[in-house]
Structure 1
Amino acid sequence: MAARLPSWAWVTGLTAGATVAVVALAVQAHHGPHPTAAVSRPGASAAARPHASASPQAPAVPALPDASGEGRRIVYSLAGKRLWLVDATGKPVRTFAVWPGTVDPRPGRYSITLRTQSLKGSDGVEIEHVMYFTKVSGVNVAFSNALDGSSPPPANGQKRGGIRLHKEDGAALWAFGDQGTRVTVVN
């Protein structure tokens, strides 16, 4: 009669064999070619652009404007049509382009006064992540993004204070800024 191996011996043998196989595959993978991924800047266009040089470089990210304050804040450049989210140490953690409305806030320091999850914008588009920070000539000025991710339609002479963002940037701003978060507007 043949001796029967206990179940723990089978489990131990199978585990050891599997471990050896995984280690062998890991060693082979380590010595093989490694894939590289293109680094994409948040808020950058997804459209492919041909590169003229043999070593493509990421587009330069605009530097945080001088005299934009200190500490944790949102910085909005009127001329640059861009936002920066700045952490408590003064380091920009994210920047992205925006579509400004027809009514610009004056350069200065503000804070988020009201946050609204979603509503219909003055242009009739459903928007979300609405963050109000000032009023100019009776027009509320706020950051928001369209629910469908679209850019705002032409204003046709209407006064609009909505500063629109790409959908993913709107979500990032919403997560970053609470009521009371400082907003610095620069030229």
Structure 2
Amino acid sequence: MAASSTGIVAGLTAAALATIGYLAHQAAETVPAGLGRAAQASATPAAGASKAPRAGEDPAALPGGSGKGARVVYSLRGDRVWLVAGDEAVSRTFKVVPSAVDPAPGSYSVTSRSKAVTGSDGVPVEHVVRFASVNGVVIGFSAAVGGPTPPASDPKVRTGGIRESRADGDAMWTFATIGRKVVVVR
């Protein structure tokens, strides 16, 4: 009986891995034009791109050209996130600590979420909301468990965790469900 149970478990594991592979392939095949590997090849903003807010503008103001409808907007330049309701009202905005690898500007969707994991930098994190991948580095929002937002990680370590406070992580977790649009702007 034990040998047949092992065979069943191995078969189920193989089927699960095949299903995950198929779904990953399907997701890769349905990436909108302009968001494929070529568009994501640059892991950092273009040379000379300033992280300073544009002169004369409120740094907390929702950036123009960030799309329509319910969405998460992430500004690479301002290291800021906006949670925007379907009526275009900003329900929350907050500063984040950027990851070492930036996603290319564009429109994405939340692809997966994890309640609690260990980040690629070894820090326990919660409310992980993933939406992009750059050269094998998965990009997503998360909050460090047990403390304030950590300082920026070592830039030599290729990590994709965009860190937020625990309170902001709670708000992101509630708002950014699977399929929610994420718009990345400079």
TM interval, short-chain normalised: 0.5 to 0.7
User: Match for 2:101: what amino acid?
Assistant: V
Runs of at least 5 residues in structure 1 that lack an aligned partner in the other structure = 1-59
- Kindly state the Cα deviation for residue 75 of structure 1 after the two structures are TM-superposed: 0.2
Instruction: Tell me what 1:138 maps to.
Output: 136
Deviation by residue 1:119-139 (Cα, 9 ceiling, x = unmatched): 011111110000110000110
Deviation by residue 1:5-64 (Cα, 9 ceiling, x = unmatched): xxxxxxxxxxxxxxxxxxxxxxxxxxxxxxxxxxxxxxxxxxxxxxxxxxxxxxx66110
Aligned mates of 1:156, 1:183 — CA distance in 2 = 24
User: Match for 2:97: what amino acid?
Assistant: W
Instruction: Tell me what 1:117 maps to.
Output: 115
Give SS of 2:139's match: strand
Q: Does 1:174 align with 2:173?
A: yes
User: Match for 1:78: what amino acid?
Assistant: L
Runs of at least 5 residues in structure 2 that lack an aligned partner in the other structure = 1-57
- Kindly state the Cα deviation for residue 91 of structure 1 after the two structures are TM-superposed: 1.3
Percentage identity across paired residues of the two chains: 48
2:114–2:128 CA contact under 8 A, matched in 1: yes
Larger of the two Rg values belongs to structure: 1
Instruction: Tell me what 1:159 maps to.
Output: 158
Give SS of 1:178's match: coil
Aligned mates of 1:61, 1:171 — CA distance in 2 = 23
Deviation by residue 1:43-102 (Cα, 9 ceiling, x = unmatched): xxxxxxxxxxxxxxxxx6611000000010000000000000000011111100000011
Count the aligned residue pairs: 128
2:143–2:166 CA contact under 8 A, matched in 1: yes
